[in-house]
Amino acid sequence: MATLYYDADADLSLLNGRTVAIIGYGSQGHAHALNLKDSGIDVVVGLYEGSRSAEKARADGLEVLSVAEAAERADWIMILLPDEAQQAVYSAEIAPHLKPGKVLSFAHGFNIRFGLIQPPADVDVVMIAPKGPGHTVRWEYQNAQGVPCLFAVEQNASGQARELAMAYAKAIGGTRAGILETNFKEEAETDLFGEQAVLCGGLSALVKAGFETLVEAGYQPELAYFECLHEVKLIVDLMVKGGLTAMRESISNTAEYGDYVSGPRVITADTKAEMKRILSDIQDGTFARNFVAECEAGKPRMGEWRQQDAEHPVEQVGEGLRSMFSWLRAA
């Protein structure tokens, strides 16, 4: 069983006297910056000229600088930009200001794992990755709780990199829930696989295929939406709360029996073999190379795919139904 670390295992005082630069102020950026600030850490935010996030960060009581100014001033630099933006920003505005003793950190291992960013050997390189969206990281912290985090060390120039990563995790509330040690390779590869094979790619394809099957068989699209998309959240919430066993204890006997007899007909040995090929593409860098090339070309195929799925009947039907849900309108 893996070891989880909690508040008592991390020393927040290791961050005393250090200035942390949060590069980016999106979902994770705002949560990290504000949680650090509330933990008594000196924080600045680095943004590009004209960023729409600058006004929000200032309104939140944070000092906003250019990325280069923030990187120069800070002892600790946390890059919280989209994966595809990190290499260029790092090369132009962060790398020139890295000095011995500084800490460079990430919330995802992609750029380090696939060699897009290659830091100098005299800085610590660590990862602190909350396993939840930024608004949850912030909300849980404000409620004296936390979101579990992964942490990892890629370079330990100072001899204290592991302890420093754990201190940062404590400062954003992670050790309240528990933090798990990993490495950049493991985190990047498992994260990409989970997104592609299960959470996003697998689930999206399964939802569309189920919806299409019912509609093509003559059933009302609205019923197909409820059965193949809407109720996914209900099942996932049960799984998150208590695993597969608790989920099956909460559903009907009919649904449980259908789970056992029909699940393996949908997810077959061929499906698992394809999952292994997906994992291989991630491990050998094929996916990373293809993603980088797509981004460098201006994301033409992603644009086409977005448009195709936006026009899919499950989206059209769902938009109409969701407009009738009072709890969504209130949100």
Distance CA 301, CA 293 (A): 11
Query: Residue 294 above 60 pLDDT?
Result: yes
pLDDT of residue 329: 62
Distances (CA, A) of 233 to 94, 140, 201: 40, 21, 16
pLDDT in tens, 223-248: 999 999 999 999 999 999 999 999 99
Q: What mean pLDDT is predicted for residues 188-194?
A: 98
Distances (CA, A) of 191 to 135, 154, 177, 185, 322: 20, 17, 20, 10, 30
Residue 30 designated active-site: no
pLDDT of residue 40: 97
Q: What mean pLDDT is predicted for residues 239-266?
A: 97
Q: Which of 108, 135, 230, 312 is catalytic?
A: 108
pLDDT in tens, 85-130: 999 999 999 999 999 999 999 999 999 999 999 999 999 999 999 9
State the average pLDDT for the chain: 96
Query: Residue 330 above 90 pLDDT?
Result: no
Residue 323's pLDDT band, with cuts at 50, 70 and 90, is: confident
Q: Which pair of structure tokens corresponds to residue 15?
A: 């961050």
pLDDT of residue 187: 97
Q: What mean pLDDT is predicted for residues 20-44?
A: 97
Query: Residue 173 above 70 pLDDT?
Result: yes
